[in-house]
Amino acid sequence: MAPMIEDDLQGLRKGTVKSKTSVPDQQSSINITELQEIASKKLINYGTKFEKDIIVKTKGLYAYTASGHQVLDFTSGQMSTLLGHGHPEVVNVIADHAANLDHLFSGMLSPPVLSLANRLTSVLPQGLDRAFFLSTGGESNEAAIKMAKVYTGKFEIVGLGASWHGMTAQALSSQYHFGRKGQGPVMPGSLMLPPPNTYRSIFRNADGSYDWEKELDYGWDLIDRASCGSLAACIVECIQSSAGMHVLPSGYLRALKKHCEQRGMLLIVDEAQTGIGRCGDLFASVDFEGVVPDILTLSKTLGNGIPLSAVVTSDEIERVCSERDYCFYTTHVNDPLPAAVGDKVLEIVLRDNLVENSRARGKQLKDGLLKLQQRYGCIGDVRGRGLMCGVEIVGNREAKSPAVDLARKIADRMYALGLWANLSSHASFSGVFRIAPPIVITKEEIEQGLDIMEQALKETEGTLPLYS
């Protein structure tokens, strides 16, 4: 690293560097242009366009750039900082365990791991009795799929179109939104159901409403034709976030579980984003849908931004897999430091009634977004549950025509005004803002975000105002 940049970064860390722009609690004279040049020359592109701004600080619900711009983070980082950035109790846990109990040999146990396993399984129903802890969502889904294969003795895995489950081999083979190209064949036995999309699906009743039951039955008929008779599991998200925040219709998960049971398959529910209170229920599958999956995976929200994921299953599945030498032995399995963070996150969510706050603030958010939809014709659809909402931008409501360029202009204006709400702009649908703020968000902060969104819509040409 160039000496000047290293000096700037060291000064920023120590809080001693001063400049023309200020960042709360820190002053910065970082050479932004030089850092951007390093990014363009030294970083490997891993499938996303890098934002131009350099983030130098996060606190609470805000991110701060090197140029002094304050941005309200309406996506919890990568949908992960459930309690906001730098939550003081989480910071204390990290500091304490970094100093005293950070990492161990993978066969050694520690109190944080045992406490998290006990606390997590105690708030889940019978049938989700045992857990172990890994680092990422993709890793937990990989482990869950391998567990399903070992338990059933079969190998075919069914995923949903537009799903996202991770970048490891089997997780990637079971997702159909993005990332499958460029590496040759995926895992054998990868099968797909149609993506449940209330807004755009072609499966309609006579009155125009979404006929998800016919679509699901049609999908399973195709699966049965394609299967070689070795169906092991189906993996599903309760809200397909990367696809544009599509919520499974009410009853869909129960019907899916029944289809799995009829075929001797396991149901794996991936609650990377929906778990730990995000959707106004502690767990979207169990507490809202009333479905107990055979295997539950958690990540993102459980670690509040620290790499932590979980695989939770039944005594019976664990017993059989253990007898059959199931192995998912990694360097960071059951590490104490991230487990301590997850235990603290779950403790805070339960102690501070944050599920109720998520439900109340989620209603406020969705009501506000629906009001914006009444005012601007470019908002084709508003959907979501709790503090997890999608806003789809279209060029024409009748035709539901994609308007990705317009959505990008709105997103740019929102960011300039101080709001980050991730724009999902995949070609398979029009631009969708994916909104998932920390569940500690206040009424005032929701209003602030909605006000910025309205101002951006008002100031962007082509948003089709429906009022004068």
Q: Determine the average pLDDT of the residues in 332-338.
A: 98
- SS3 (DSSP) at 82: coil
Res. 30: pLDDT tops 90: no
What are residue 394's phi and psi, to 5 degrees?
A: -130, 160
pLDDT of residue 20: 34
Token match 């989620």: residue? 362
Res. 134: pLDDT tops 70: yes
Query: What's the pTM?
Result: 0.93
Q: Determine the average pLDDT of the residues in 242-252.
A: 95
* Positions marked catalytic: 164, 237, 270, 273, 300, 434
pLDDT of residue 427: 64
**Residue 27 CA: distances (Å) to CA of 3, 19, 91, 311:** 19, 6, 22, 42
C-alpha 288/C-alpha 291 separation (Å) is 8
Element (H, E) at 225: helix 212-226
Average pLDDT, the chain: 92
C-alpha 397/C-alpha 9 separation (Å) is 48
Report all structural domains of the chain as residue ranges with CATH numbers, in order of start.
Answer: 3-86+354-459 (3.90.1150.10), 90-351 (3.40.640.10)
What tokens does 319 get? 């017993």
pLDDT of residue 253: 98
63-74: per-residue pLDDT in tens?
999 999 999 999
Rg value, the chain, Cα = 23
The 8-class DSSP code of residue 301 comes to G
C-alpha 23/C-alpha 64 separation (Å) is 7
pLDDT of residue 48: 82
Look at phi and psi of residue 154 and say left if phi exceeds 0, alpha if psi is from -120 to 50, else beta: beta
pLDDT of residue 3: 40
The 8-class DSSP code of residue 287 comes to I
Yes or no: say if 266 and 321 are a contact pair by the CB < 8 Å rule.
no
Q: Determine the average pLDDT of the residues in 102-107.
A: 97
Percent of the chain whose pLDDT exceeds 70: 93
Of the pLDDT bands very low, low, confident and very high (cuts 50, 70, 90), residue 181 is confident
Q: Which long-range contacts (CB under 8 A, 24 or more apart) does 247-251 make?
A: 247/198, 247/383, 247/384, 247/385, 248/196, 248/289, 249/196, 249/198, 249/210, 249/212, 250/289, 251/212, 251/213
Yes or no: say if 237 and 274 are a contact pair by the CB < 8 Å rule.
yes
Q: Which residue has the higher pLDDT, 468 or 404?
A: 404
pLDDT of residue 183: 87
Which of 282-291, 347-356, 419-428 is predicted with the least confidence, judged by mean pLDDT? 419-428
403-462: per-residue pLDDT in tens?
999 999 999 999 999 999 999 877 666 799 999 999 999 999 999 999 999 999 999 999
Q: For residue 119, which of 288, 312, 271, 293 has the smallest C-alpha distance?
A: 312
Burial 42-58 (b: 16+ CB within 10 A, else e): eeeeeeeeeeebbebbb
Percent of the chain whose pLDDT exceeds 90: 86
Res. 1: pLDDT tops 90: no
Please calculate the CA angle 372-378-381 and round it to the nearest 5 degrees. Answer: 70
pLDDT of residue 32: 87
- SS3 (DSSP) at 418: coil
Burial 279-294 (b: 16+ CB within 10 A, else e): bbbbbbbbbbbebbbb
The 8-class DSSP code of residue 376 comes to B
C-alpha 160/C-alpha 163 separation (Å) is 6
Res. 28: pLDDT tops 70: no
C-alpha 231/C-alpha 124 separation (Å) is 27
pLDDT of residue 425: 74
pLDDT of residue 468: 67
